[in-house]
Amino acid sequence: MHKLTVITKAQNPYIVEAAQDGRLIDVLRSLPGESGPLLAWRCGQGTCGACVVRLDFAPDIVPSPRGRMEHNVLIRRGLLPSPLPGHGDGTDGPTGGATATDEAALKAPRLACHVRVTGDLLVYIENN
Protein backbone atom coordinates (compact mmCIF):
# COMPACT_ATOMS: atom_id res chain seq x y z
CA MET A 1 0.00 0.00 0.00
CA HIS A 2 1.11 3.53 -0.76
CA LYS A 3 0.31 6.78 1.01
CA LEU A 4 -1.45 9.47 -1.00
CA THR A 5 -1.82 12.99 0.33
CA VAL A 6 -4.55 14.79 -1.59
CA ILE A 7 -4.47 18.58 -1.43
CA THR A 8 -7.28 20.81 -2.67
CA LYS A 9 -7.88 24.55 -2.61
CA ALA A 10 -11.04 24.36 -0.55
CA GLN A 11 -10.59 21.51 1.92
CA ASN A 12 -8.15 20.07 4.41
CA PRO A 13 -5.75 17.50 2.96
CA TYR A 14 -6.87 13.88 2.74
CA ILE A 15 -4.40 11.13 3.57
CA VAL A 16 -5.39 7.76 2.14
CA GLU A 17 -3.81 4.45 1.26
CA ALA A 18 -3.84 3.09 -2.26
CA ALA A 19 -2.94 -0.30 -3.67
CA GLN A 20 0.05 -0.80 -5.93
CA ASP A 21 -0.82 -0.22 -9.62
CA GLY A 22 -4.36 0.96 -8.86
CA ARG A 23 -5.69 3.80 -10.99
CA LEU A 24 -5.46 7.16 -9.27
CA ILE A 25 -8.93 8.14 -10.52
CA ASP A 26 -10.48 5.18 -8.66
CA VAL A 27 -8.90 6.29 -5.37
CA LEU A 28 -9.99 9.90 -5.88
CA ARG A 29 -13.55 8.92 -6.82
CA SER A 30 -13.97 7.29 -3.43
CA LEU A 31 -13.12 10.46 -1.48
CA PRO A 32 -16.07 12.63 -0.46
CA GLY A 33 -15.89 16.34 -1.11
CA GLU A 34 -17.70 18.94 0.98
CA SER A 35 -20.11 19.74 -1.86
CA GLY A 36 -19.90 16.78 -4.22
CA PRO A 37 -17.11 14.66 -5.66
CA LEU A 38 -13.58 15.71 -4.77
CA LEU A 39 -12.46 15.48 -8.39
CA ALA A 40 -14.47 16.32 -11.47
CA TRP A 41 -14.56 13.46 -13.94
CA ARG A 42 -16.75 12.31 -16.75
CA CYS A 43 -15.37 9.57 -18.93
CA GLY A 44 -12.68 7.87 -16.83
CA GLN A 45 -11.05 6.85 -20.11
CA GLY A 46 -8.67 9.77 -20.67
CA THR A 47 -10.50 11.53 -23.47
CA CYS A 48 -12.39 14.39 -21.78
CA GLY A 49 -9.57 15.82 -19.64
CA ALA A 50 -11.80 16.58 -16.65
CA CYS A 51 -9.64 14.69 -14.14
CA VAL A 52 -6.53 16.87 -14.35
CA VAL A 53 -4.26 16.72 -11.30
CA ARG A 54 -0.69 17.71 -10.53
CA LEU A 55 1.55 15.19 -8.81
CA ASP A 56 4.62 15.33 -6.64
CA PHE A 57 6.39 11.97 -6.44
CA ALA A 58 8.46 10.53 -3.62
CA PRO A 59 12.18 10.98 -4.41
CA ASP A 60 12.71 7.31 -5.26
CA ILE A 61 9.73 7.07 -7.64
CA VAL A 62 10.03 7.52 -11.40
CA PRO A 63 6.64 8.60 -12.75
CA SER A 64 4.90 6.48 -15.33
CA PRO A 65 5.24 7.75 -18.89
CA ARG A 66 2.61 10.09 -20.28
CA GLY A 67 1.15 8.34 -23.29
CA ARG A 68 0.23 9.93 -26.60
CA MET A 69 -3.50 10.05 -25.81
CA GLU A 70 -2.99 11.75 -22.43
CA HIS A 71 -0.47 14.15 -23.94
CA ASN A 72 -2.85 15.15 -26.73
CA VAL A 73 -5.77 15.73 -24.32
CA LEU A 74 -3.56 17.99 -22.17
CA ILE A 75 -2.49 19.95 -25.27
CA ARG A 76 -6.12 20.30 -26.36
CA ARG A 77 -7.01 21.70 -22.93
CA GLY A 78 -4.12 24.18 -23.14
CA LEU A 79 -2.20 22.60 -20.25
CA LEU A 80 0.85 21.55 -22.26
CA PRO A 81 2.56 23.32 -25.13
CA SER A 82 2.13 21.81 -28.56
CA PRO A 83 5.39 20.23 -29.80
CA LEU A 84 7.18 21.86 -32.68
CA PRO A 85 6.85 20.04 -36.01
CA GLY A 86 9.64 17.51 -36.42
CA HIS A 87 10.46 17.40 -32.69
CA GLY A 88 8.52 14.31 -31.66
CA ASP A 89 5.22 14.19 -29.87
CA GLY A 90 6.51 14.91 -26.36
CA THR A 91 5.77 11.43 -25.03
CA ASP A 92 9.30 10.04 -25.03
CA GLY A 93 10.12 9.94 -21.33
CA PRO A 94 8.72 9.31 -17.86
CA THR A 95 7.03 12.70 -17.82
CA GLY A 96 6.48 13.29 -21.50
CA GLY A 97 9.75 14.46 -22.97
CA ALA A 98 11.46 15.67 -19.78
CA THR A 99 13.98 13.99 -17.57
CA ALA A 100 12.95 12.70 -14.16
CA THR A 101 15.10 15.40 -12.54
CA ASP A 102 13.20 18.24 -14.23
CA GLU A 103 11.11 19.57 -11.33
CA ALA A 104 8.69 21.47 -13.56
CA ALA A 105 8.02 18.33 -15.60
CA LEU A 106 7.40 16.25 -12.49
CA LYS A 107 4.67 18.69 -11.48
CA ALA A 108 3.25 18.87 -14.99
CA PRO A 109 -0.45 18.12 -15.30
CA ARG A 110 -1.58 14.52 -15.57
CA LEU A 111 -4.94 12.85 -16.08
CA ALA A 112 -5.84 10.85 -12.96
CA CYS A 113 -7.42 8.15 -15.11
CA HIS A 114 -4.03 7.53 -16.79
CA VAL A 115 -1.91 7.42 -13.63
CA ARG A 116 -1.15 4.16 -11.86
CA VAL A 117 -0.12 4.35 -8.21
CA THR A 118 3.43 3.05 -7.93
CA GLY A 119 4.56 4.86 -4.79
CA ASP A 120 3.73 7.59 -2.32
CA LEU A 121 2.27 10.72 -3.95
CA LEU A 122 1.19 14.25 -3.24
CA VAL A 123 -1.85 14.91 -5.42
CA TYR A 124 -2.89 18.51 -6.09
CA ILE A 125 -6.46 19.03 -7.28
CA GLU A 126 -7.03 22.52 -8.61
CA ASN A 127 -10.52 22.25 -10.16
CA ASN A 128 -12.66 22.21 -7.02
Mean pLDDT by 10 residues, the chain (128 residues): 88 88 89 68 79 84 84 91 60 45 63 91 81
Say what the pTM is.
0.77
What pLDDT sits at residue 11?
A: 77
Written in H, E and C, the secondary structure of 66-126 is CCHHHHHHHHHCCCCCCCCCCCCCCCCCCCCCCCCCCHHHHCCEEEHHHCECCCCEEEEEC
Task: Give the CATH fold of the 2-125 domain.
Answer: Ubiquitin-like (UB roll) (3.10.20)
